[in-house]
Structure 1
């Protein structure tokens, strides 16, 4: 990522390029496909071998045995009680399965995969020294991606918020705020990454930073391992059955809990979107307490300043928190009000009968 330090206005930290001067215009450019973002907070794992797809299928929440070359999906690795341990975007090129994982999860995911090889024909490795990840609209990143030996471009097209085969949608809001989000992540060589940095420094390529990319993610209610997942997180709580879980596939670790919660019960917590009051000019940070009155009912998982919705957040709250309750979030020495919008209903599950809801955000109200 060192080359990006030469880009005018660039602000970086250990995770990568945060922004190039103004995250709000960067959001607009990313959404319009006129800018790309170097995803320094992502890592690339490669899994070659004849048994790779059936092996990953047996270990994860996703059905992968028949994944076609170039097809995009994602998987979760669960513990025996159904809690999320690892997550990865998945694309296969016909010879190798490529996993894109958050930087703070990749090492643990790879270590777990290596322990689970047994005698199978698989050879997982960290390919991050060879490859980087660049995000943006599918059209914006298409020309940057590595082409696999079979001619398959290594581009992961985010399936969110679609409902994949065997998946299930808990959110009943229409239209879903992520419906129009065009997001893809291209695997690029490190030399290509340096070329992008040099071109951006000369003003030939427009870049956006991680702050802008994350704001678009939060506005789309898109869960992420590094933000929404804690040691208790279940896929149901995050509406992640949509794209990362196949409810009809064979046995895998944690499947019993996934099926039981979905078919017979309700998740103990639920993800909500918060439309924050910006009058205090103070935004909460991840990990801050969410309150109903003085009672603690949850925790903030992501916060962003969106170019249309203004200050927004995602939070995990108790399932029993009333859906119309006014909530507040601790922020420095003040409490910030947050209007709650339902993502996962309290009644979420296979037998739930929940009326469809319309968007409540500033963006929806303006249309």
Structure 2
């Protein structure tokens, strides 16, 4: 992990990267408005050059990639034969190379798996962390730090979330979706450019935000992430991930049968919920904290954050049968915390579901 940002005034750095630069709540506002950018040391880059790269990735993953146009961002999942998520990556192609951005905790495993699946095809994936870093922010903010590749395509991945991409399907029934104005992008920059960004931030010429701000905005947008929401049995349906990461009408790939069966004939066994946590305490639940209905364990927290507008919030995966109107509690180090749930994935989610739309009223709006 690069230590390029250690000299930035106020920088707090942990094993994941730049955590914050003094005030995570202010950084959230600045990041969302496009006034700041966020170094993403928690993300890693895999380069996949070769003439067969797009059709090869198409055959291995949940996404239709064979006709992916240069500069268009999408994402893919690698599934096991039972349809459980094994790996995830953001995808952008520059016309010569396909670039994958993955959570650092997942990147080595994804890379090793891709190398094993080359066979005789004209592809040559490589880990590119020595050459490149990742920074995040609004698309406009990243224009200040991004240059085009030799093929003329800027390596800026624009997150398609929460729009339903071709072949996808949305399960969330709230209106408006909390990410209806989500503007998030990630740029692949050279290590020299990363140092230039750090120097500019140290001088006060460029404003940074840390990973705490990034995470809070993501949780508020109900945006799933491999290193948080994925466990050994998660299905994309449970996280509403069909909308951007799965093409339901493409050709065969590993796990496709389960994806189609659960979507067309059944319901996912678990469902993601958003939790508005009791804000009277100061301790957020940890990853994996137990979610309870009364004394019964019904799920686990996958992500938690303190949001600049919503207050303490979390994402959790609970049993499908958990009543949608039930008030839950979450275990924390300071004892149980009350949690009001918002439906992300309805209990009867699927192709045949007929769920009425739900008007979303955020905590901030309810207080006004």
Contact kept in structure 2, 1:172 and 1:354, CA below 8 Å: yes
Task: Please give the alpha-carbon distance, in whole angstroms, between the structure 1 residues aligned to 2:262 and 2:21.
Answer: 44
Contact kept in structure 2, 1:142 and 1:186, CA below 8 Å: no
Contact kept in structure 2, 1:173 and 1:356, CA below 8 Å: yes
Of 38-47 and 330-339, more deviation after overlay is shown by: 330-339
How far did 1:365 drift?
2.8
Which residue in 1 is equivalent to 2:31? 30
Which residue in 2 is equivalent to 1:175? 176
Which residue in 2 is equivalent to 1:131? 132
SS in 2 for 1:26: helix
Task: Within 5 Å, give how 1:147-162 maps onto structure 2.
Answer: 147-162=148-163
Which residue in 1 is equivalent to 2:102? 101
The reply to whether residue 44 of structure 1 matches residue 27 of structure 2 is no
RMSD in angstroms over aligned alpha carbons?
0.8
Task: Please give the alpha-carbon distance, in whole angstroms, between the structure 2 residues aligned to 1:281 and 1:4.
Answer: 28
How far did 1:193 drift?
0.4
Task: Please give the alpha-carbon distance, in whole angstroms, between the structure 2 residues aligned to 1:333 and 1:21.
Answer: 25
Which residue in 2 is equivalent to 1:361? 362
Aligned residues: 367
Task: Please give the alpha-carbon distance, in whole angstroms, between the structure 1 residues aligned to 2:94 and 2:331.
Answer: 46
Which residue in 2 is equivalent to 1:234? 235
Which residue in 1 is equivalent to 2:146? 145
Task: Please give the alpha-carbon distance, in whole angstroms, between the structure 1 residues aligned to 2:344 and 2:359.
Answer: 11
Which residue in 2 is equivalent to 1:166? 167
Contact kept in structure 2, 1:83 and 1:235, CA below 8 Å: yes
SS in 2 for 1:250: coil
Contact kept in structure 1, 2:283 and 2:334, CA below 8 Å: no
Which residue in 2 is equivalent to 1:66? 67
Task: Please give the alpha-carbon distance, in whole angstroms, between the structure 2 residues aligned to 1:61 and 1:363.
Answer: 37
Task: Please give the alpha-carbon distance, in whole angstroms, between the structure 2 residues aligned to 1:148 and 1:156.
Answer: 13
Give TM-score scaled by structure 1 length. Answer: 0.99
Contact kept in structure 2, 1:237 and 1:344, CA below 8 Å: yes
How far did 1:149 drift?
1.6
Of 326-335 and 161-170, more deviation after overlay is shown by: 326-335
SS in 1 for 2:141: helix
SS in 2 for 1:104: helix
Task: Please give the alpha-carbon distance, in whole angstroms, between the structure 2 residues aligned to 1:202 and 1:185.
Answer: 23
SS in 2 for 1:315: strand
Of 139-148 and 231-240, more deviation after overlay is shown by: 139-148
Contact kept in structure 1, 2:28 and 2:213, CA below 8 Å: yes
Which residue in 1 is equivalent to 2:327? 326
Give TM-score scaled by structure 2 length. Answer: 0.99
Structure 1 runs, 4 residues or longer, greater than 3 Å off: none
Which residue in 1 is equivalent to 2:215? 214
Task: Please give the alpha-carbon distance, in whole angstroms, between the structure 2 residues aligned to 1:66 and 1:255.
Answer: 20
How far did 1:366 drift?
5.3
SS in 2 for 1:89: strand
How far did 1:283 drift?
1.7
Structure 2: stretches of 5+ with no match in the other structure: none
